Every structure is written in C-alpha cells, then in structure tokens.
Chains A and B, each alone.
Chain A
Amino acid sequence: MLLNIKSLHVAINGKEIIKGLNLGVNQGEVHAIMGPNGTGKSTLAAAITGREGYEITQGEIWFKGRNIIGMPAEERANEGIFLSFQYPVEIPGVSMTNFMRTALNAQREYRGLPSIPAGEFLKMMEEKKNLVEIHSKLTNRSVNEGFSGGEKKKNEIFQMAMLQPSLAILDETDSGLDIDALKVVAKGVNELRSNDNAFIVITHYQRLLDFIVPDFVHVLYDGKIVKSGGKNLALELEEKGYEWIKEQYQATSEL
C-alpha cells in the first residue's frame, strides 16, 4: 500500500480536529475526500505533508513502508508526496524558474542523482507549461506573484507535473476556478495519472469529479471517514446534500 493512515488523531492548539481516521491508498488509485466545511479535510492534508502546528496525538501515517510522522516536510516531498495548495503562496523575489530548479535538484540530490542540466530543465519547463496551458514566460515571474486565481491553480498542477510525485493531494483545487480553467486543471491531472501514482482529491463539490473520475469517494465528517463508496457516492451527495450523512452518523454514534 502506498499510503496507509491508521487511527489518526490530529489537534491544532490542543483542539482535536481529526479523531481516528483510517485511509488506505494504493498506486493507481484516485480517492476523493468530500465533506462539509470544517470537518478536517485540509487538516488531513497538512498532517500528511508535515505542516508545523498540526499535532499528531495518536496514530500512524505509513508512506512507502515508512511511518512518516516526525519526518520534515521537505523529506516527505522528496519521498514523493505533493500538495496542491488551496491557497498558493505568493513569494516576491523568487522566480518560478529558480524555485522549480531548486526544488527539482533537491529531489534529485535526495535520490542520489546529479543536478539537472540547464537545457534539459528548460525543455521540461516548456513541456509541462503546455500541459496546463500556461502561456506566459515564467522565467522572470516571481512565484505566484500577480497570478490570477486560475493561474495559481494551474501553477500548482504545473509544479506537480515537474516534480512527478507518487502521491498528490489536491486541496480544493476547484475552488475559485471557472469551468474552462477547471477543465485545464483536470486534463493536466488526468494526463499525469498512471499505475505508479495515486491522488487524493479534496473537494466540496461533485463538479471536479466529473472531470477527475475517482475510484473511491470518502465522506469526512467530524474528523472521521463516516462513509466510503465508489464514484456514485459523489453523485448521491450532489443530489441529496450532506444532511443525510450527518443524520446517519449521529444516529450510529448515539447507539
């Protein structure tokens, strides 16, 4: 199993947000995580990627056979975990080119490979830019600075394409995207899908899942996965909303 999360509990400032979550993800799979606001979807992403300030009070996160709890964020990234941010950060003064080259070389160094030759790197940049239909020159642009909402999200997928992770977590990549940008993002993701990698798609809405078709859909509620199913579960949620899930969950927890 690529990712195996066992009875995970995560707290922020002493307040428990994830309350015993189990999730297994194999290579080649796409898992969608849905659920109402404030149920812990982004907290889960933060816990997997190693963001500081998220305290793992219990449980284990196994990735490629190693328990990664306590592993620094950069090492997780170099092991192959990627997060597409819900709110990509603007970094004035750091050019996209330098950023990507530094990241790529950090990964290569971690894997015992030499730095990427300049020519090869530039070719790769062009190729991956085309994948997500970024037409502007990135060389002289600072990371996300002055990018539109759509460009920022495309830029996340562009970075994913450059770094070729084995597990990509897309945190509300659809939020703030118009339908055209959404299609471009989805197309990029679909082209990167393979039998060797896996995706966790965090979203509120069914809409994205029309374009990135999941193998599994999980509903996160009150810090736990309360319901899992196939892609039809997403359609059911779209049609019926989350209320019936909440009622079902409260009924079972009262037993």
Chain B
Amino acid sequence: MNNNPLVEEISLDEMLVRHFETHFDFISSNDIPSVSALRKVAMKQFLTTGFPSGSDEKWRNTEIEALTEEHFNYYLEPNEPERDIEDMFRCEVHNFDTEIISMLNGWYLNSNDRITILPNGVVYGSLRQAMKQFPELVEKYYGKIGDITSNGFVSINTAMVQDGVFVYVPDGVEAEKTIQIIKMIDRRESLFVQSRNLIILGKNSKLSLMHCDDSINHFISLINTVSEVYVGENAHFELYKLQNLNNQSGLVNSTFIQQEANSTIKTNTLTFNCGMIRNNINVDLQGENSHADVLGLYLMDKKQHIDNQIYINHNAPHCSSNEKFKGILDDEASAVFNGYIHVARNAQKTNAYQNNNNILLKPTATINTMPFLEIYADDVKCSHGATVGQLDQEAMFYLRSRGISSGNARLLLMYAFAADIINQISIEPLRQRIDDMVKKRLRGELSVCEKCVLHCGMPEKEYHFDIDMSKL
C-alpha cells in the first residue's frame, strides 16, 4: 500500500477508527488468528470508551486530552530511516554488553530478519516474526496477561498495533546478557506511535531487560506501548525502564506482569525527561511465595508531568511486594502517584509495602499521591506511606557551614534522596551509568540526548561531576 501518512483534520481517535475499518486486512496481515480476533474485541471496547479523559477517575489528575486532542501522523508501514541507524543506536555503556533491539519510530528495524536464537536458547525478535515462527507461544500469552479493557490506550494498542518485541527464555535458561530495547523517535513530524512487547520467561529461567524510550527530535509524539510479561515458576525477571523524551512528547506505558510461584521480579522505572508520562504497571502475583519489587525515580522540571499508577494484585498466599517511588519536582512540574494494593481473600500471609517520597523544589511544583489498599484476607501485613517535603534546611546549613556551596549542598541532598533507588540497580555498570545520568539531570545538564539515552552524546569524554560521589 501507499505509505503516505494518515493525516487528516479529524481527531486522533476518529482517524484511528477510520483506518482500522479501511485497512484492517493490511494491519492484521501478519497475525495469527487469535491476535486478529482480539483486535476486533479491542476495537469494540475502544469505540465505547475512546481515549481516557479527565472525567475518568483514574485519569483525573493527568490532562491526557492535551495530547490526544493534538494532530498526529500515523503510519501503517515503516519509513525509510533518514540517518545512519547504526550510529544512532550505538550504546556506550562501558563493560555492559547487551543484546540490542532497535526500534525506530515504533518499528522493529530489520524486522524481516529471522528471529535471533542465542546459543543458550534465548529467543528474541520482532513480534510479527514471532507470530510466524512461534505461533503457539504467542497464542498462549498474547492478550492474556494484559487487560485489554483496562483503558482506551491498551484497547487501541491491541486493536491496531503492528510491531513490537518478542522475547522467550525457555525453561531453565538464565540469559547472561541483558536484552536492551532502544526505542527512538526521530521523525521531523508529529507521530502517534504504538508498539507491543511480549516477554515470556519459562520455569527456572532468568532475564534482565532494559527498555529505553528516547526522542531526538523536537516534535510532539505520543507513544503508546503495551508490554506483557509472563514470569514462570521460580523465574527471575528484572526490568529497567529509562524514559528520556522531549518536553513536548507524551508516553503512555502499560506494563502487565504475571508471576507464578516462587518467582521474583524487580522493575525500576527511571524517568528523566518527558512532557507527559503515564506509567501503568500491573503486577499479578498468581503463585505462592512470589515477590515483586516495583521501584521508580522521577526527576521532572519545567511543565513536565508524570503519573505513575501501580497495581499490585496479591492473588496467592505468602507473596510479598515492595513498592517504592521517589521524585524530585522543580519549577511547575507535577506528579501523580497512585499505588493500588489488592489482596484477595485467599492471599493470606501477604506482606505488602508501599512508599512514595517527594521533594518539591519550588512552591509551584505539585504532587498528588494516594495509596489505595483493598484487603480481603485477614492475616496480612500491609503498610504504606507518603512524604512530600522540601530540602531539609538544617541539613543545608550543616553542609554550607563546612564550606560546601549552596548549589552543591542542594545537589548532595537531592542526590542522596535519589541514591536510594539507584542503588537498587543490580547490574553494576548500568548502575554507574544511571548514577551519572541522575547527577547530570540534577545539574540541569541532561537534555534530550543526541543519541541513545545511555550514549549521552559524548562517549569518549568522561563526565566530570564537581562533587565526587564515588565510593572510596
């Protein structure tokens, strides 16, 4: 078909619906039947709900209409890259060797290539290829972990998405290398972009995954990503999400994780920059003795907005969850944190912890934080807490009285606040790099990167920080 942008002076939702109707055969041309069937169900759902708006309880504090009412171009096929792709996706983290998956403007690069099967059995590739080579696996999990009715973004993604990442770690396999998905937006136009990831971990397996969302343009984009993760019995999964997009763009990221018995997960959502971000993280603890660490750090300024919605569903006994999000907000930035913990009637001996701490650097910054605990079992331990504050003035004076400038004293205190989350990154070279990025961000020197979020523009130049934070 003709790859002209589908742009018309109609609203985004109308445009999407129209193209769904006109181009359904094309959109679903790589599908297995169950995926096609799901598209129809999802579109039916989207037709009744549309995109969420401020009148929806769960979107009350995020003015998503500001984005969904913009005009975007939407492509049903990838464009020819406009620059040297290899250079763009080169990721320079020293001593950190990853399997890199590059996605440009929502499309898997070289998606006609075969799926990669590593010697240890780990499989990764584009979702559309996976539907050809691993149809049973896709059919078993696709759309089963995520709730396609949970909001309009998930519905429209399910209805129309054409590409994404597939990862499969077979039973008993521990993936040595981290798999890194780098998603870049570089078009010189406003885009609505969707992608879908399906990650499957078999029994007794192990995987760490990085998911970087970047933009290197200055146009408005709206990125709608849905990820489904299945974590089998006694499997261990780590997910690092790095979000660094321009000040105009929006990102709606819905991650659904299902855990079987004795499994562990750790997700760390690190938000450095973006006009508007909504992270929906849904964890279903389905098997006994499973554990989830759901962590996050957000550093926002200007008029940026972040909304983290975390759902932890304790559906089995003897599970534990630890939710911790920390944020520093400057200027007129705003943040929302809603942490839902749902403990089912049979989920006895649940241990659930939830915490959200915020520092507001200016009186114009705002945070709206709220825990929601729904507990139906009677033998559980649940705790929650939230703090909102300024930098500790006593500590500021103490540092300054030792000769440390007020600027550096502020940095030290902000860094100390954030370090709590950074220190929980278990891959050491990555922890160091993130540490560096946080320092840069706190100094106001991390702009939208020239290249990959981890590239930081100047790989050959070691970044120097006034305050030597290195552990001696």
A positions within 8 Å CB-CB of B: 49-52, 72-74, 77-78, 82-83, 85, 88-95, 97-99, 101-103, 105-107, 110, 115, 118, 121-122, 139-140, 142-143, 159, 163
Contacts and interface: CB of A to CB of B under 8 A. Distances in A.
A78 B404 CA distance: 9
B403 A91 contact: no
A102 B404 contact: yes
Contacts of A85: 398, 401
Given A51-B397, A92-B416, A99-B412, A78 B468 contact: no
A90 B392 CA distance: 10
Nearest to A51: B397
Given A88-B398, A91-B416, A93-B420, A110 B403 contact: yes
B66 interface: no
Given A73-B397, A88-B398, A94 B416 contact: yes
Nearest to A74: B400
A103 B417 contact: no
B416 A103 contact: no
10 contacts: A83-B401, A89-B394, A91-B416, A93-B415, A97-B472, A98-B412, A99-B412, A101-B472, A103-B403, A139-B471
Contact of A98 (B397, B401, B467): B467
Given A91-B416, A93-B417, A106-B405, A98 B400 contact: no
Given A91-B399, A139-B472, A106 B416 contact: no
A115 B469 CA distance: 14
A94 B413 contact: yes
Nearest to A121: B472
3 pairs of A and B residues whose beta carbons are closest in the complex: A93-B416, A77-B403, A103-B402
B395 interface: yes
Interface string B407-433: 011001101110110000000000000
Contacts, number: 94
A102 B471 contact: no
Contacts of A142: 416
Contacts of B394: 89
Interface in B411-462: 412-413, 415-417, 419-420
A143 B413 CA distance: 11
Contacts of A49: 401
Given A89-B395, A93-B417, A93-B419, A103 B404 contact: yes
Nearest to B408: A102
A52 B397 contact: yes
A139 B399 CA distance: 17
A77 B472 contact: no
Nearest to A162: B402
B406 interface: yes
Most buried by B among A78, A88, A89, A122: A89
Nearest to A118: B472
Contacts of B392: 89, 91
A94 B391 CA distance: 13
B403 A106 contact: yes
Given A51-B397, A91-B413, A98 B469 contact: yes
Interface string B144-174: 0000000000000000000000000000000
A134 to B, nearest CB: 16
Contacts of A163: 402-403
Contacts of A95: 471
Given A93-B420, A98-B468, A118-B472, A73 B413 contact: no
A223 to B, nearest CB: 22
A73 B471 contact: no
A99 B402 contact: yes
Given A52-B397, A74-B409, 18 more contacts: A49-B401, A51-B397, A74-B400, A74-B402, A77-B401, A88-B398, A91-B392, A91-B395, A91-B413, A94-B412, A94-B413, A97-B471, A99-B399, A103-B404, A106-B403, A106-B405, A106-B408, A163-B402
Contacts of B402: 74, 77, 82, 99, 103, 106, 159, 163
B318 to A, nearest CB: 32
Contacts of A73: 397, 400-401
Contacts of B404: 74, 102-103, 106
Contacts of B405: 74, 106
B388 to A, nearest CB: 17
Contacts of A83: 401
Contacts of B417: 93
B77 to A, nearest CB: 49
Contacts of B472: 97, 101, 118, 121-122, 139
Given A106-B408, A139-B472, A163-B403, A91 B398 contact: yes
A115 B468 CA distance: 10
